[in-house]
Amino acid sequence: MDLTTVRLQAPATLTAPALELRPWSPADAADLVAVFRDDEALRRWTSDGPHDLASALRWVREQRRLRHSGERFSFAVVETGDREKGGQDQEKGGRLLGHVVLKRRAPDSASAEVGYWTAAHARGRGVAPRALGALTQWAFDAFPPDEVARLDLVHQVDNTASCRVADKCGYTFGEVLPAAPPAFPLDGHRHVRVRADSRKDRAQAAHVRRREVR
């Protein structure tokens, strides 16, 4: 599988169109600026958001570089309707709704971190849980257990919507994290999801240890 070009899908619901998760493109830069310019909450929760076209293009280039290095896999979340109807910009596709990312850690770590944001105009439509669900499934499918056995979702304590998204996607609350300014000016929550085969392996190991103790 070529991880540098992978695209993911999330199916439509009765009230919302299907989603596509695709690599960021320079064609997204203007939309990216508009999303951050009009959303005070997003600027508060996202420390590296672009503020003009030049910074947006730099951000996109950095996402593409990190994807090729295997350190970070960022996806633009878009509606698929425009492309399905023969939209003119086939690379860009439908309207920008948000962003999801898988952040790899040290080579000897079996955990990774996921993150996301949703544009103001797309909130309340189930975009975040569907996009995060697609990313989570891909992460466990694309990487072996010794590379990605656990996924962490971290957010500030005042972002209560992220707690609800985590719960919908099967991430359980793990711990409260102390503030770490400037990126995290407030305390945070860590939610955790463990791949199914890892849970099974841990349960079997615990059962063996109990038998050995007896």
pLDDT, position 91: 53
Let me know: does 98 contact 128? Beta carbons within 8 Å. Answer: yes
Mind listing the pLDDT tens digit for each residue in 111-121? Answer: 999 999 999 99
Q: How many CB atoms lie within 10 A of CB 195?
A: 21
The percent helix, strand, coil of the chain (3-state, each to 5) is 40, 25, 35
pLDDT, position 93: 63
- Cα 51 to Cα 45, 94, 118, 159: the distances in Å are 14, 22, 17, 22
Residue type, 94: G
pLDDT, position 161: 92
SS3 label, residue 75: strand
Q: The whole model's pTM is what?
A: 0.85
pLDDT, position 44: 78
Which residues in the chain come in under a pLDDT of 50? Answer: 82-90, 201-202, 204-214
